[in-house]
Amino acid sequence: MQQLSEIWVYPVKSLGGIQLQESKVTDRGLELDRRWLLIDDNGRFLSQREYPELALFKPEIAGDFLKITQRVLLESIDIPLRPVFSDKISKIEVIVWDDTIEACEVSETISDWFTRLLGFSVRLVYMPDESERKLDARYAITGDEITSFSDAYPFLIIGQSSLDDLNGRLKVKVSMNRFRPNFVFTNGEVFEEDTWREFKIGNVSFVGVKPCDRCVMTTVDQEKGVFSGKDPLKTLAKYRNFGNKVLFGQNVIGLGLGIVSVGDEIRVLSHNKK
């Protein structure tokens, strides 16, 4: 049987991830996942696609705070896990790809900390609960699904077998963190996640809606915060190129709320039509 082997959240989009033993499934993704975002002076999101050094910022949960540490400079800052904003605070319109989303700046002090360390002007914003970002209607199930500051979908799942297959073709192996999944599973066939439609992790139901097309961000060395060459994207393109898109992993929508834990059984209930 397939088994959930890793759970990851990325609280600040495009910064490092946090590996968890269990997590709460919410209506917009895993709890804490991509609820914070760094934006430039135009309100546009920052990404490792342009700024690979974002990988050097490592988050961890420290009591009631999200602690962010720049791993080279060894400087840290604490961000409240559950920010409280007054009714008087003005919302900021931020841009993630084609979506415009309402958010709140966490604090000028925290924005200034990131600005100083990155060397250019940025702000850290948070997506409050009342800010609802709808999914692409082409892939929604009910039309009411929402997501956080993710690229487009609430969850991403990848089989360990799929990474093992890729690493068997690479001169230098890569870690799963190049692909930033929320869920990793073992005991599956290579790329079988491509075919999943309805499935359960433990008692929580999910739907696979669209294979994930990959970009240059997969070439960022997550330990060094630099581009590391053309792989693994170049190698993936040789055998995972579909319609000029390089696919690796499956984008997923949740059908309910609950808790998922490492070790949970995954039961596949139906498959996508070819």
Task: Identify the pLDDT of residue 67.
Answer: 98
Q: Are 110 and 83 in contact (CB under 8 A)?
A: no
Indicate the domain borders of the chain. Answer: 2-268
Dist. CA 220–CA 226, nearest whole Å: 5
Task: Identify the pLDDT of residue 88.
Answer: 73
Task: Identify the pLDDT of residue 273.
Answer: 78
Question: What kind of fold does domain 2-268 have according to CATH?
Answer: M1 Pyruvate Kinase; Domain 3 (2.40.33)
Stated as kind and residue range, the H or E segment containing 60 is strand 57-62
Task: Identify the pLDDT of residue 86.
Answer: 79
Task: Identify the pLDDT of residue 235.
Answer: 98
Task: Identify the pLDDT of residue 267.
Answer: 98
Q: Count CB atoms within 10 A of the CB of residue 244.
A: 7
pLDDT tens digits, one per residue of 35-56: 999 999 999 999 999 999 999 9
Dist. CA 92–CA 115, nearest whole Å: 18
Task: Identify the pLDDT of residue 227.
Answer: 98
**Phi, psi of 159, deg, nearest 5:** -85, 140
Give the residues of the chain that fall short of pLDDT 70. Answer: 274
Residues 6+ apart with CB under 8 A from 222: 16, 55, 175, 177, 178
Q: Are 46 and 122 in contact (CB under 8 A)?
A: yes
